[in-house]
Copies of this chain bind each other. A is one copy, B any other.
Amino acid sequence: MSTTTRSRLSPDERRSQLLDLGVRLLSTRSLDELSIDLLAEQAGVSRGLLYHYFGSKQDFHEAVVRRAADALVAQTAPPVHGDPIDRLRSSMGAYLAYVEANREGYVSLVRGGAGGTPALRAIHEEARTALTDRVFVADALGELVPDTPVTRLVVRGWAACVEDLVLAWVADPTGVDREQLLAVLVDSLPALVGTVAGAGTAHD
């Protein structure tokens, strides 16, 4: 991009562009390795300007992880129409593709959810809530999952299972092919809901 183009951007657009670059850098690096120095070097701007945009390294990290979480939620939006299990398969395929393309950013998102700063925990919790709420919205008739306190709990557990499976698989895919994993990610939702006694009452 030319300096001329760059200078036409508003501060919000410029900040947004820097965050996109941060997310790209995070796809192959841990959060600890994503420094303001590295971003400055890659963006061709001064450290001072970055501190102007992001305040502190921690604020910068939180903004990048939030951007990554928003992208995950956006890219995994299921089709509006179709069979609930087909929509789930489409969404989980996009989820897996996102993690394959953004492995370290995904690790940062999930790790931050358990042991990070309160802000990182909140970002992970919001992303997980967006993904699990979607199950109930996309399945409003309860074809896969009736909406009860225990199924809400189980869908949360399913999301944790998905995160762990995907993280373990990208770290070491030996003996497990992508299609096999994707089938488990999709079929595990109705399978887990099926363990709830009386979960089928929506159909009774």
In the assembled complex, the Cα of A194 lies from the Cα of B114 at a distance in Å of 29
Return the contact of A195 from the options B116, B157, B183 (Cβ within 8 A).
B183
Specify which chain B residues have a CB less than 8 angstroms from the CB of A187 in the assembled complex: 195
Segment of A33-41, A88-96, A164-172 engaged in the interface with chain B: A164-172
The distance from the CB of A89 to the nearest CB of chain B, in whole angstroms, is 13
For A95-115 the 0/1 string (1 means CB < 8 A from B) is 000000000000000111111
In contact, B197 and A194 (Cβ under 8 angstroms): no
Segment of A19-27, A72-80, A148-156 engaged in the interface with chain B: A148-156
Return the contact of A156 from the options B156, B158, B165, B174 (Cβ within 8 A).
B165
Query: Is residue A43 contacting chain B, with contact meaning CB distance below 8 A?
Result: no
In contact, B114 and A161 (Cβ under 8 angstroms): no
Return the contact of A165 from the options B157, B162, B164, B175 (Cβ within 8 A).
B157
Return the contact of A164 from the options B116, B148, B157, B180 (Cβ within 8 A).
B157
Specify which chain B residues have a CB less than 8 angstroms from the CB of A163 in the assembled complex: 160
In contact, B165 and A149 (Cβ under 8 angstroms): no
Query: Is residue A192 contacting chain B, with contact meaning CB distance below 8 A?
Result: yes
Specify which chain B residues have a CB less than 8 angstroms from the CB of A181 in the assembled complex: 150, 153
Q: Give the 6 A-B CB pairs with smallest separation, nearest first.
A: A115-B115, A149-B175, A114-B114, A160-B164, A187-B195, A161-B161
Specify which chain B residues have a CB less than 8 angstroms from the CB of A164 in the assembled complex: 156-157, 159-161
In the assembled complex, the Cα of A175 lies from the Cα of B148 at a distance in Å of 8
Also in contact, A150 and B168, with CB within 8 A (given A113-B114, A191-B192): no
Query: Is residue A196 contacting chain B, with contact meaning CB distance below 8 A?
Result: yes
When C-beta atoms are compared, the residue in chain B nearest to A148 turns out to be B175
In contact, A176 and B149 (Cβ under 8 angstroms): yes
